[in-house]
Amino acid sequence: MNYSEHKAAVLDVRGALRKAMARLGEAGVGSHALAAELLLMKVLGCERAWLYSRPEQMLEPKRAEQYFTLVAQRIAGIPTQYLTGRQEFWGLEFEVTPVDSEETSGLAPCTALGSGPPRAEWCGAANRRRWHRLGVPCCGNRQRTT
């Protein structure tokens, strides 16, 4: 689905969300309503509350085209997090970028022990300094991959 399929209709926020939710749902995308909201929030640079407090706000044609391009990419299988560049986890927002498999070949998942909420940490076997510099928690030499 792309913007050219919707050119005849002038779209407001409500209409764009409805069309995107329907299309994502038909394509079997998990959490299709949330994906539609997050993608529109990305395009408009707004929070979820803004979407629902201004449902009659008209979308500029350029914004509508950007939105439906993202929707089509999500339907094609690109994760919402890659499209938005963000992922919320336990009330924290993280920046997300696609990672080349060669860059992650030296990483092994490890379990963090502690009394806080569950979380995933990564051990950097080959490139520990790089990950530490990026602010990703490192668990030392507890696990290594060969």
Q: pLDDT category, 118, cuts 50, 70, 90?
A: very low
Second CATH level (architecture) for the domain 3-88: Orthogonal Bundle (1.10)
Residue 101: the pLDDT is 61
pTM equals 0.64
Q: What are phi and psi of 67, to 5 degrees?
A: -60, -50
Asked whether the predicted pLDDT for residue 84 surpasses 60, the reply is yes
What are the residue boundaries of the structural domains of the chain, listed by start?
Answer: 3-88, 99-146
